[in-house]
Structure 1
Amino acid sequence: MTSLFLTQDSRFILGDIAKILGWIINQIFNFLDSIGIANVGFAIILFTIIVYMLMIPLTYKQQKFSKMSMRMNPEIQAIQKKYKGKQDQASMLKMQDETKAVYAKYGTSPTGTCLPMLIQFPVLLAVYAVVYAIPAYIDKIKMAYYPLVTDLLSTSGGSAFIKGLKSAASFQKRDFALENTIIDVLNKATTAEWESIAAEFPGLSSVVESTQHTLSGFNDFLGLNIVNSPWYTIKESFAEGNYLWIVVALLIPVLAGLSQWFSLKLMPQAAASADGENNEMMQSMKMMNNFMPLMSVYFCAILPVGVGIYWIMSAVVRTIQQLIINKHLSKMDIDEEIKKNIEAYNRKREKNGLPPERLSNVARTSTRNVETTKREITSEERQKAIQDSTEYYSKGTAKPGSLAAKARMVEQYNEKNNKGKNK
């Protein structure tokens, strides 16, 4: 796990993304420093906003696909129902062709929602790597640990004492003779651990105090040290009887949960199908949407405040993006989009030497039953249908309810259906 800390992330792809994002947050911090606001918390806020602005094209594409899927899914379900239980090759090929036609009609694909997420996922992992190891990417933060780091390494027992700190538990496989390892541990050290260093090495107390003062100026955010977890602050404040800071510390996990919940509520939700085929999936998604905010509360309570700031800001930025995207998509003419998709699909077929395909007709044919079931049948129409059916099957001299009457009904039913087939 050495690649996750001050030596910067060196994992495949993630390391390169983290370097780019690290350069961005370093420039943000330098800018804030130039205007007299050299604060890691504010740097993380601006960093989060910029990262999510860069991902707007992917976010928009994903949300557009979700909206189109809500219109498309009934047609896909109708095709699946049409060929349900048919395992012969001809039926399977027809099912694939009709499904492909519907996807082309809506300009989507089976992987339409997965691809943007696959691209965003490594970016988000790289963001966490940067936020979790700030000194590895912000030069001024790293330099603030000197000359304390040099003095600790040159002092007898200094390296061993740092290795024994609770915050060093994640670094036991590292070389504690390296400056980067010491900085990694000090970056995770709590206020109490900094005080224990000064107590253990009185000769370094002034250097410890000076370093801690510089870093606290960088790390202080609304009175909270972004290196400490809210849970640590709550425990310390409770022991000291400082109940105001307990409330302030609780705001981080609480806001993380609320912002996550509100962001998920704005996500497009698929409607329940009439036959209940996708209702089970909807219930699973609902449970996940309820679970995610609770998970946010837990993680933002035990992780450093800096991670909580990023978590909250990412949810807030996603919410704002979602409101803007939803407003834009609400004005989108889906029929016009379908027309453009059909034209684009036929241009592609033309390049491949294939004739144009009337996708709208293919899709409409495969979903005729779905469309007709969307309209509610009125009571007058239902009564007329019953009356017409009764009159049709009551023609003849047979006594109602007799075997002859039933035979006449079967005969007339077959006549009616054969006429329909011969037309």
Structure 2
Amino acid sequence: MNNFLDTILTPFTYAVSWVLWAFHELFTRIGMDEGSGVTWTLSIIFLVLLIRTLLIPVFVKQIKSQRAMQALQPDLRKLQAKYKGKTDQMSRQAMVQEQQALFKKHKTNPLSSCLPLLIQMPFFFALFRVLNNASHASENHQAVGALSVENIRSFDSAQILGAPLSETFLGTINSGNTNWAVVIVAVIMILAMIASQFFTQRQLMTKNMSKEALEGPFMQQQKMMLYILPLVFGIGGINFPIGVLIYWTATNLWTLCQQFWVIRNNPTPGSQAERELNARRAEKGLPPVGVKKEDAAAAAEEAAQQAAKGQREQPKRNNRRKKK
């Protein structure tokens, strides 16, 4: 099993380690200290920026798929109502087939929202291998991927706020000689990683989901991701090297900011974010999203003409019959 994983991850390991080496060389040549933790930290952050920039087309596809998932929520609810109470095997199979037909029609699937995360995982595991093996490789005078023995030694000795970048929270606790700088930096980074993951998902749920999506089964999936993903990374974070925690926190912050920009400027139709965008556009004298300026002007002119005519004339009341 390990040999199989090694075979799969080897190309990613060389790619990640080469990019890390290239950025480290760049910062060293512009005058930064070769063995400084700041130099290596910046190399890791710029590795994140490069990967996430390359993933922008995937992010755009993810946004389109999420909107398609929200658009088909009414059809999914009708489908669930159709098969409600039917527990036999044939009914379940029929429901699954109809769901798959809906997903195919709208060109989406429930896993589309996880696509950027899934694509990132091989790079994440490759970086984890590089940084996690740094201490062992340094002791045994071994290279790791595209990083030479000298690079590995430089990284293994690099520190940020007194915490070695190759050290882990669990490792220093179990060592019998706890480095409290590692504990403090790791806890701060883990909390930042969890918080950024949580607020990214919460921002999506509260701002960029239509009414149909908020009331449908898609919302349950989003709620699970809201709590499960931060919990998974929080628990796993105690065994991540400080360098990996920096990588994952940086990528979470990128996601949070990228999503904020998209939600603010190109929100899902029918969402709270769209209503807020239309309110901002109205303040500037612009028409709502999706309405052409000419159409908005014609509608405004028609409304003005109706207002000028005044209220509709009230029907005249019949004269009361004169009392005899």
TM-score by length of 1: 0.47
Cα–Cα, structure 1 residues 25 and 67, in superposed 2: closer, same or farther, change >3 Å? same
Question: CA shift at 1:3, angstroms?
Answer: 6.1
Matched with 2:66 is 66
Cα–Cα, structure 1 residues 102 and 228, in superposed 2: closer, same or farther, change >3 Å? closer
User: CA contact under 8 A between 1:79 and 1:95: conserved in structure 2?
Assistant: no
Looking at structure 2, the residues matched to 101 and 298 of structure 1 have their Cα atoms a distance apart, in angstroms, of 37
User: CA contact under 8 A between 1:238 and 1:246: conserved in structure 2?
Assistant: no
User: CA contact under 8 A between 1:41 and 1:219: conserved in structure 2?
Assistant: no
Question: CA shift at 1:33, angstroms?
Answer: 1.5
Question: CA shift at 1:139, angstroms?
Answer: 3.1
Post-superposition Cα deviations, 1:383-420, rounded to whole Å, max 9, x if no partner, equal xxxxxxxxxxxxxxxxxxxxxxxxxxxxxxxxxxxxxx
Equivalent positions of 1:99-110 (< 5 A) are: 100=101, 103-104=104-105, 106-109=106-109
Question: CA shift at 1:268, angstroms?
Answer: 4.2
Looking at structure 2, the residues matched to 64 and 47 of structure 1 have their Cα atoms a distance apart, in angstroms, of 26
Looking at structure 2, the residues matched to 233 and 93 of structure 1 have their Cα atoms a distance apart, in angstroms, of 54
Question: CA shift at 1:225, angstroms?
Answer: 1.1
Matched with 2:159 is 220
Question: CA shift at 1:231, angstroms?
Answer: 5.2
Looking at structure 1, the residues matched to 186 and 99 of structure 2 have their Cα atoms a distance apart, in angstroms, of 56
Q: Counterpart amino acid of 2:237?
A: C
Question: CA shift at 1:323, angstroms?
Answer: 1.4
Root-mean-square deviation (CA), in Å? 4.5
User: CA contact under 8 A between 1:62 and 1:112: conserved in structure 2?
Assistant: yes
Q: Counterpart amino acid of 1:28?
A: F
SS of corresponding position for 1:286: helix
Equivalent positions of 1:80-159 (< 5 A) are: 80-82=80-82, 85=86, 100=101, 103-104=104-105, 106-109=106-109, 112-113=112-113, 118-133=118-133, 136-140=144-148, 142-143=149-150
Matched with 1:11 is 7
Post-superposition Cα deviations, 1:68-101, rounded to whole Å, max 9, x if no partner, equal 31221112221343466599x9xx9899679746
Looking at structure 2, the residues matched to 302 and 98 of structure 1 have their Cα atoms a distance apart, in angstroms, of 40
Alignment of 1:55 with 2:55, yes or no, is yes
2:17 to 5, 22, 26: 22
Equivalent positions of 1:169-184 (< 5 A) are: none
Cα–Cα, structure 1 residues 58 and 3, in superposed 2: closer, same or farther, change >3 Å? same
Question: CA shift at 1:61, angstroms?
Answer: 1.4
Cα–Cα, structure 1 residues 80 and 328, in superposed 2: closer, same or farther, change >3 Å? same
Question: CA shift at 1:2, angstroms?
Answer: 7.1
Looking at structure 1, the residues matched to 240 and 110 of structure 2 have their Cα atoms a distance apart, in angstroms, of 37
Alignment of 1:266 with 2:203, yes or no, is yes
User: CA contact under 8 A between 1:227 and 1:306: conserved in structure 2?
Assistant: yes
Post-superposition Cα deviations, 1:273-326, rounded to whole Å, max 9, x if no partner, equal 79x8739x72x7535532433443333334321121112112111212221232
Cα–Cα, structure 1 residues 95 and 315, in superposed 2: closer, same or farther, change >3 Å? closer
Question: CA shift at 1:144, angstroms?
Answer: 5.4
Looking at structure 1, the residues matched to 15 and 197 of structure 2 have their Cα atoms a distance apart, in angstroms, of 26
Question: CA shift at 1:228, angstroms?
Answer: 1.9
Question: CA shift at 1:221, angstroms?
Answer: 1.7
Q: Structure 2: any 5+ residue segments left out of the alignment?
A: 135-142, 272-324
Equivalent positions of 1:239-278 (< 5 A) are: 247-268=184-205, 278=217
Q: Counterpart amino acid of 1:143?
A: E
Cα–Cα, structure 1 residues 299 and 117, in superposed 2: closer, same or farther, change >3 Å? closer
Question: CA shift at 1:26, angstroms?
Answer: 1.7
Looking at structure 1, the residues matched to 233 and 94 of structure 2 have their Cα atoms a distance apart, in angstroms, of 45
Looking at structure 2, the residues matched to 231 and 325 of structure 1 have their Cα atoms a distance apart, in angstroms, of 37
User: CA contact under 8 A between 1:29 and 1:40: conserved in structure 2?
Assistant: yes
Post-superposition Cα deviations, 1:117-159, rounded to whole Å, max 9, x if no partner, equal 554443443343344345513535x2257xxxxxxxxxxxxxx
Q: Counterpart amino acid of 2:236?
A: F
Cα–Cα, structure 1 residues 40 and 98, in superposed 2: closer, same or farther, change >3 Å? closer
Instruction: Specify the structure having the higher radius of gyration (Cα).
Output: 1
Cα–Cα, structure 1 residues 99 and 71, in superposed 2: closer, same or farther, change >3 Å? same
Matched with 1:79 is 79
Post-superposition Cα deviations, 1:332-352, rounded to whole Å, max 9, x if no partner, equal 799xxxxxxxxxxxxxxxxxx
Matched with 2:46 is 46
Matched with 2:259 is 322
Cα–Cα, structure 1 residues 256 and 96, in superposed 2: closer, same or farther, change >3 Å? closer
